[in-house]
Structure 1
Amino acid sequence: MAGHFEALPGGGAAVALDEVEISILRSLAVQLLELIGPGDEPAKGEDPLAALFAQGPSEPPSDPALARLFPDAYGGPEDEENDELREFSAEFRRYTENDLRARKRDDALVVVRNLDALSATGEGGAVLKLTADDSLHWLGALNDLRLTIGTRLEVTDEDEGGDLYRLPDSDPRKPMVMAYLWLGALQETLVETLAP
């Protein structure tokens, strides 16, 4: 079980984590929460139902990592000059981004809470046991973390087996690459536990 998720009866998953792994995962999840932002809570006395229908932004984020987490729904970079696709993307973003941000925040919060509960009971490491619902939140958060780190490292499809994975230990990007690869392994084994 060390280093990878295994299926639990009832649809959950478990993984053994040491203190360092718990600390790294928690730190990354907190950083993801900070990147995504706090969200728009209704002001005191405001109608919470009205907040459900609040419109979000219409422009894509300027931060490349956020743009990767919240991509345009229509077209891509090659379609920047297509006014119609930009208009469709803006309209789609306006009505969906707030919900998507809330879901990504929820996923990262589940990770932090699970790790906090685990570290409060374990000395030197422990086995993290997730319910089926928590497993889905973890899968979303692991994916978001990999997308964010991959964007910061400028990983592309052409990088598969490329120089990025053979960096010398002295390269300042090496810890991020190691985290990227580790998160990928965790994500892959979690997907396998969820597969029928």
Structure 2
Amino acid sequence: MEKTVLASLAEQMIAFVAPTQAAASGDPLAAIVGIDEVAETPTDPALARMFPAAYRDDDEAAGDFRRFTERDLRAHKIANASKVAGCLERHGEKLVLTADEALCWLGFLNDTRIAIGTRLEITEANHDELAELPAEDPRAGLFDVYDWLTFLQDSLVQLELDAD
């Protein structure tokens, strides 16, 4: 069951961070290297957390930075989620990761936790309160997934630290 949940989350992450359809660029070089003509700040709060403004006090600089970097950042997040999905398909009951795969998993787990945490508005102040939600609360199941992903991420970090 855990593999099914992770595979579903990977699929959802790929769809969630897929680049929006960029306006046709009048600059052929920009199109080749993946620079968007315009890159808008995401309106979705989870995407805004995953792709924050590089310059909070300078909208123009933040927009330029976003134009030059966001497409690659999205591609990297998609690659991580795709690698996770591939690992889940390839492995049987026991999952053995290479060092590179472990880094992809850590990135995917982090991104997924950011998305879920933003949706649930999890903070240090309300974490324990959310952990006590009654089962009938529609947020309870998603919080349980968030908590489980936190456990997986922490376990993987500890394994990586012990390997060094």
Q: TM-score, normalised by structure 2?
A: 0.87
Conserved? CA contact 1:57–1:97, under 8 Å: no
1:113 has 2:80 as partner: no
Q: TM-score, normalised by structure 1?
A: 0.73
More relative contact order, 1 or 2 (CA 8 Å, 6+ apart):
1
Aligned to 1:168, the other structure's residue is in SS state coil
Q: 1:193 aligns with which of 151, 159, 163?
A: 159
Q: 1:94 aligns with which of 47, 54, 67?
A: 67
Higher helix share: 2
Partner of 1:165: 131
Aligned to 1:127, the other structure's residue is in SS state coil
Higher strand share: 1
Partner of 1:134: 101
Return 5+ residue gaps in structure 2 as ranges: 22-27
1: CA distance between counterparts of 2:145 and 2:151? 10
Q: How many residues align?
A: 156
Conserved? CA contact 2:36–2:68, under 8 Å: yes
Conserved? CA contact 2:30–2:36, under 8 Å: no
Partner of 2:113: 146
2: CA distance between counterparts of 1:29 and 1:37? 12
Partner of 1:17: none
Which consecutive segments of 4 or more residues in structure 1 shift more than 6 A? none
Deviation at 1:53, TM superposition (A): 4.5
Please provide the CA RMSD for this pair. 2.0
Conserved? CA contact 1:73–1:89, under 8 Å: yes
